[in-house]
Each structure stands twice: as structure tokens, then as C-alpha cells.
Structure 1
Amino acid sequence: MFVTIGGVRHHVVAEGSGPVCLLSAGLTLGWFDWDPVVPLLTPHRTVVRFDRPGHGLSAAAVAPPSAAGEARRIAGVLDALGLDGPATVVGHSIAGFHAEAFARLHPERTASLVLVDSSVEEHARPPRAPAVRTAAARAAGHALSALGAPAALGPLARRAMVRLSRTGGGDPAPAELVRRCYTTSRVTRGALLEYASYRAVAAELLALRERYELPCGAPVTVLAATAGGRRWTARQRMLALELGARFREVTPAGHLLMLDRPDAVARAVLGEDGPGASGEGL
């Protein structure tokens, strides 16, 4: 289905029943990248997936993202579906920033928070001349589109990115969906706009941490893919300490943890510790 939020048409998928769980994927990814996780959750949860502007099947982005803006977007998706009760919010990679911002700005609507190999920026500062960065991203997007790069290279770039971000296996996404999304200029432009705004969003989130507490009584879990290396795992562990969260190393798993280990993501959402999960490993 499609809903309009902030004047932009968003693609949203909702299925299952029970308490609400919202899944938000990382940069350039679409709703279908959660496909391995969804069947593990729908017997127990109402699972909501959506594409941010310029991603998946949603319309092109009209403004650069912000942490507070993405928190409002999540709230808008839930509102559009008539889901006003507390939700478990799951953010992967850059969407970890958005999920945490939602929890801080909408504590009454947050049942729990799960960060899946989330982006981490411990000392981010607002970039200089953000308008210039945005303009450059837009110009690059238009130039690539004019050259036909999305149509020629989009699906190949997607397949390569997925292979490099997993510990094994290729891209399970259907070829038709990959072509439908990644040959479009809006996905290229949306990705460039999010990338150009990355530092600003990270710095904004650090500012939100100083002003707004995480909701009391809402569990937080940080899942770290061990393929990122020791330094990355250490940064994820420090993020968990900062947030007072449970920390789980997931192995074997690459950055696209939802594809490599959907079981670990599902257990985190459901608040379950499976075999071998009593310590830090999964």
C-alpha cells in the first residue's frame, strides 16, 4: 500500500498480528531486505515495513533527512496505519539513528528498541555548509541519471553491495524487484542525499541524547555483526553501554545481518535468548 507522509508518497507493507514491530533498513535498501525475518515475526507481531523517500518503491525525496524528521516519519507511518500503541522499532545501519531518535522523541510510543549493526558516530559534529553538501548530492544524482547510470549499473551495484555485506551467499532479492527499484534515478538520488546528510544526522542524534532520555522500561538491544572486525564490534559494545542496552555479537554475520542471521534479529525483537545467547554471542 501507499500512504502520503509530509507530502511524499511512501510504500508501506503491514502483515501479521499482535504487538507492533516496525522495521527500517539501511542506506539504499528496500522493504524486501527484511523478507527472511518477517516469517519469524508475523506469528507473534504486526510487522510494518516501509521505504524511506528515494528508496524501494517510495517517491523521490524532497528534502534532506534529519534525525527528528525521520522520527516523525516513523510516527507518520504508524499513524497512517492507525497503530498508535507502543511499537518495537528496529533500525539497521543508518536507520539505527532514526530508530533511536524515535525512541527519544516518542517515548510513549516505544515498547522496545533493536539496533541491527547500527551506524555509530561517537564524536560527530554538524558539517559546515550543509546546504552546499545537499546541492552537490542533488547535482551528482541528476548527472548520474542523465548519463543513464542507474539503468545501466543500478542492479549490478546492488548485487555487488549485498555480496560484499554478507558472510556468505548472494543477493536473495527477486530480480524483478531489483530491476524495478534500482534502475530508477530516484533511488540513486535518494541514496546520495542520505549519504550527504549522514554527518548532520549523526550530530543531531548526539544532541538529542543530551536532551531526551530513552523511555524508561523499554528494553534496548544492540546486535553487532562480527564480520565487521574487532574495532567495529568494540564500537558496537560501547554503543550498548552508552544506551544501557543488551549487547549481542552475532556470528557468522555480515553487515546485512537480517539476511545472514534472521533468527538473531527475530529473537532480539521477541525478547528471547536462544541457544548460545546467554552471553554476548549468538
Structure 2
Amino acid sequence: MERRLFVAAAAALIVAAVLYSAWITGQFTTPAVDRTDGYVSELAARDQPWTRLFRVSDVLSGLACLAAVATLPRVAREWAGWLALAAFGLLTVVSGLVPLDCAVLSDPACRGETVSHRLHMVAGALATTAVLTAMAVLSARWRSWVSWLFTGLNVGATGLMLAALAAGRLAGVAHRIQLTMVAVWVVYVALRLLVHDDEEAPCGPPHVLDQGAGPGVLITAGLGGAWFHWDAVAAGLAACHRVVRFDRPGLGLSPPATDRPTLYGEVARLAALAPAQPSQVTLVAHGLSCWHAEAFARLHPLCVAKLVLVDPSPPPVRRPLALAAVLGAWLPALGGTWGANVLARLTGPPAHRLVTGMGDPFGVYRMGKVPAAVAGEWLARRDMAADLRDIRAGHPFPDIPVTVLGAGGRDARRQSLAARLDAKLVLLPRSGHQVELDDPGAIVDAV
């Protein structure tokens, strides 16, 4: 999947370069703009006949550049260069949205005194700075003489442009050379991505925390949960139990998986973390992972001493969606892109605080892999629910004690689950966030 993302990013960059070069046709459609002394951006000035065409080309070119950077898999120590290229794309969009009022160099009557006119000039200067920064930073990282050659040519073209402006002659020629060099460099970057040697790293082991000694307790978090949400519960149990916590693939500190989550895969994960027979484990599960716990108990009845289900989620009864499987297969790779990581940095910590009321001391929710893993598990819900129904039909529930903990009043679906498993239903006062955070003592008592 990562290889396809590199190809998609390269295609977006080529589109950006082609749209960025739309000014070439303007040499023949807008004769009022002086080819020798006029800016290329004068083709999109408000008073020119083809202003909308060239403004749309600039906006789409910038958006294609932003899409390419967002789609690109994250590479260590290259963030500054790609950030600068994304800034170039954003500033190109701004240039298209706020064009010049008139052909400032070609038309002696043009004053260019409006805010929009000045904003366009500032955006153009900043865009040039951003793309030159991207060239220099990425060239230094790649250590490619070809990249440095293009960078030097672009720096030279920019210097020629500044000299032409100072001399009051040939600014149009210099500007066209400068834009041509930028477009050629963007195509070079796209070609470099196409020949990128993609060596997909194997998925590493999950993050596991093992503490205490005694009868085994295995804790599996709910949708989007991490090991540190269970610190208070683990501290209350570790005095006389061996407590094992872990993060599912993509969550917490675990590396992302290479495929979409399945119910049988989660059951196998629990079996690998549970103590070897004849020892038995008390399984504490929250939310969505209660399905994993019930399936594990039905498929491995000799391994389980007790179940504690915290706020179990009712499985949906709708059929699985084929589109969900396709999207789920892409999500692990998308979680490693620059776009996913930027989105996670901006929204992850505040969203986590809103849901849990606590901070993110380990920076877990600033990683792009986490929202991708959460989305992947959510998309796999219908498939997991269908597998759970099949397991319920073919494997009886073992004769073990079960406690269902729920916050708030009585719920028909929660009561139905307790009746199905012959469980003890414990209703707790409605908490502000989650039971394991607001009332860990109840979970310790249930174990």
C-alpha cells in the first residue's frame, strides 16, 4: 500500500507542475501582458480576459501540491522540506484566490493600491521563499547532485528575477525562467518518488506492560484506548495479581498492523498474552474489546477464569460492507502519511482530553497511526459482529463467573448481554468520562 501512496503523491505533483505551467498558453491568449517585462501573474489580473482560467489553474495547482505532501508516507528527518513544499502549495492557492487588480508592469496606468493586490505580491514572494527552502532542505537530505543542480538553477533564476526588477527591464523573461525551473524541479521530485525503493518494514510486536505477581489478569482497552488509561486499575491489582496490559496494533505505543483488524486475530492476540495452561486468566475488557473477550472465552474456555466486561458495546446487526474492507486495508498505510500525522498533532490531544478528561503524557495521540487504527477498528465492527454471532452459534459459553459493569441507568442491551452470559450486572453512577478513569476501584472489586 505504501508503494501506491508514493505513486499517488508523484501523480499529484505532476498535475501540480502542469497546472502551474498554464501560463505558457497565456502568452498567446493575453497579448496585453508584456512577455518581456510583465509578470506571469498579470495573466490572472482581474482586468484580463482569461483571469478566471489562470486563477483556477493556480488554485488547483496549489491544492494538488498539498494533496501530494499529505498523501506521502512520512520519512524521518524530511519533515522540514515537505512542510516548506506544503507552504508553497498553500501560498499558491492564496495567490489564485487574491489576484492582482491589473497588469502592474505591463500597464502604466495600473496603481495596484488595494489590499488584494498587495496580498498577492506578498503571497508570491513567500511562495518563492518556501519552494527554495523546500529545494535546499530536501536536497541536503537526499544528497543528490541532480537535486542540488536544480536547486542551484532555481536560486540563479530567482536572483536573475530580482536583478531584472531592480534594473526595470526583462522582469517578464526572468519570471518565466524562474517558474519554469520550479515546475521542472517539481517534476523531478515526482520522478524521484516513482523510483523510490520501498522496503516495507515488518510489523513489530505489540507494546506490553507486565507488572506484579500472582493470578493473571489481562486487560484489553476499548476503541482508541491506551495502556496508561488503566494505570489506577493496574496499581490496585498488582499487589496480589500479575497484571498484563497491551496496546493493539496502531494504538498506544504498538506499531501499526499491515492488515485490517479481525475478531479472530484479536482472539489470537489474547491467547498469545494469556498465561500458559493450566493457569487461567481473568480477562478485563472495555467497550469494543468485550467482543474479543467473549469470543476468546468461547474459543478457549480452559484459559479463562473470569470475565469483567466494562461498558460493553452491543454488536451491530447490519451486514458487513465491502467498502469498509477496502478502506480498512488502506488505513494502516494512510496512518503513516504526513497528512495523517499533521491531522493527529492538531486534533489528537484535544480530542483525547475531551473524551477522557486527561492529558497525553506520552504523546500517543499526536501520532497519525492512532486515528488510522481507531478508524480501522470502527470500520471492522460489522465484520467482527458477524464473526461473533457465528462463534456464539457454534461454541457454548463456559461456566465461568462474569461481571458486567455499566455506567448510568438500566439499558436493555446491557441487560440482554448479562442474561445471555448469566452475568452479574453492576450499575455505577454516570461518570464524566470512562469507568476505568473515574471509578477504577469498581473494576478492582469486580476482579
Q: What is the SS of the residue equivalent to 1:176? A: coil
C-alpha deviations, 1:209-265, integer Å up to 9, x for none? 11111222x111111111xx55xx221111101111111111143561111111111
- From the two aligned structures, give the one with the greater helix fraction: 2
Match of 1:116 among 300, 310, 317: 310
Indicate the residue corresponding to 1:78 in structure 2.
Answer: 274
Indicate the residue corresponding to 2:110 in structure 1.
Answer: none
Indicate the residue corresponding to 2:281 in structure 1.
Answer: 87
2:398 matches 1:215? yes
Offset, 1:140: 6.3
C-alpha deviations, 1:92-120, integer Å up to 9, x for none? 00111111111111111101111100111
Indicate the residue corresponding to 1:66 in structure 2.
Answer: 262
Indicate the residue corresponding to 2:80 in structure 1.
Answer: none
Contact 1:11 1:50 in 2 (8 A): yes
2:361 matches 1:176? yes
Q: Match of 1:249, as an amino acid?
A: L
2:244 matches 1:244? no
Answer with 1 or 2: which has the greater Rg.
Answer: 2
Contact 1:225 1:255 in 2 (8 A): no
Q: What is the SS of the residue equivalent to 2:309? A: strand
Runs of 4+ in 1 over 4 A off after TM superposition: 135-144
Offset, 1:90: 0.9
C-alpha deviations, 1:148-168, integer Å up to 9, x for none? 101222111111122xxxxxx
Offset, 1:65: 1.3
C-alpha deviations, 1:47-87, integer Å up to 9, x for none? 100000000000012221111110100111236xx686210
Q: Match of 1:87, as an amino acid?
A: V
Change in Cα spacing, 1:119 to 1:8, as seen in structure 2 (3 Å) is: farther
Indicate the residue corresponding to 2:384 in structure 1.
Answer: 201
CA distance in 1, matches of 2:433, 2:265: 25
Match of 2:209 among 10, 13, 25: 13
Change in Cα spacing, 1:60 to 1:136, as seen in structure 2 (3 Å) is: closer
Change in Cα spacing, 1:59 to 1:141, as seen in structure 2 (3 Å) is: closer
Indicate the residue corresponding to 1:22 in structure 2.
Answer: 218
TM-score, normalising length from structure 2? 0.51
Contact 1:10 1:58 in 2 (8 A): yes
CA distance in 1, matches of 2:438, 2:290: 18
C-alpha RMSD of the superposition:
2.3
Indicate the residue corresponding to 1:3 in structure 2.
Answer: none
- From the two aligned structures, give the one with the greater strand fraction: 1
CA distance in 2, matches of 1:234, 1:88: 26
Indicate the residue corresponding to 1:264 in structure 2.
Answer: 442
Structure 2 stretches of 5 or more lacking a match? 1-201
Contact 2:252 2:370 in 1 (8 A): yes
Matched positions, count:
246
Indicate the residue corresponding to 2:301 in structure 1.
Answer: 107
TM-score, normalising length from structure 1? 0.80
Offset, 1:38: 1.3
Contact 1:126 1:204 in 2 (8 A): no
Structure 1 stretches of 5 or more lacking a match? 1-5, 163-169, 270-282
Contact 1:19 1:87 in 2 (8 A): yes
2:228 matches 1:32? yes
- Identity of paired residues, percent? 39
Offset, 1:128: 3.9
